[in-house]
């Protein structure tokens, strides 16, 4: 599985209903699981982003579909980073 870092910000709608955020997270966790992925970790953060999630999925298309579904709900905006583990990073750099 590929690892992704998902940076999340609440929209105006999302922050107005922030008390429902844990329920939305549970629904997002189930949605990603139904697509074949998983949440490894999630943190509420201070700074430029409200939440940071580490997710795994079989491929980029699943994560793209997941992000679009999340955006359709109107509560969050996401930025997704594909993450390479150290071994892959070393292999990529060694071939330069």
- Provide the domain count of the chain: 1
pLDDT confidence tier of residue 39, bands split at 50, 70 and 90: very high
- Print the SS3 string covering the chain: CEEEEEEEEECHHHHHCHHHHHHHHHHHHHHHHHCCCEEEEEEECCCCCCEEEEEEECCHHHHHHHHHHHHHCCCEEEEEEEECCHHHHHHHHHCC
Cα–Cα distances (Å) from 46 to 32, 50, 51, 52, 76, in that order, read: 25, 6, 8, 10, 16
CA angle at 58 for the pair 4 and 14, rounded to the nearest 5°: 45
pLDDT at 2: 96
The mean pLDDT value of the chain amounts to 97
Residue given tokens 């999925």 in the structure block: 57
Once rounded to an integer, what is the mean pLDDT over residues 52-62? 98
CATH number of 23's domain:
3.30.70.260
pLDDT at 73: 96
Domain that holds residue 22: 2-94
pLDDT at 93: 97
Q: What is the pLDDT of residues 58-92, one digit of tens each?
A: 999 999 999 999 999 999 999 999 999 999 999 99
Residue given tokens 């997710």 in the structure block: 55
């Amino acid at each position: 599985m590929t690892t992704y870092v998902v940076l999340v910000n609440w929209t105006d709608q999302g922050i107005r209903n922030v008390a429902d955020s844990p329920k939305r997270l549970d629904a997002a966790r189930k949605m990603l699981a139904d697509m074949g992925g998983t949440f490894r970790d999630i943190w509420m953060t201070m700074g430029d982003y409200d939440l940071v999630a580490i997710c795994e999925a079989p491929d980029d298309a699943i994560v793209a579909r997941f992000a679009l579904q999340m955006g359709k709900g109107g509560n969050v905006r996401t930025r997704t980073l594909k993450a390479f583990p150290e071994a892959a990073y070393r292999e990529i750099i060694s071939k330069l």
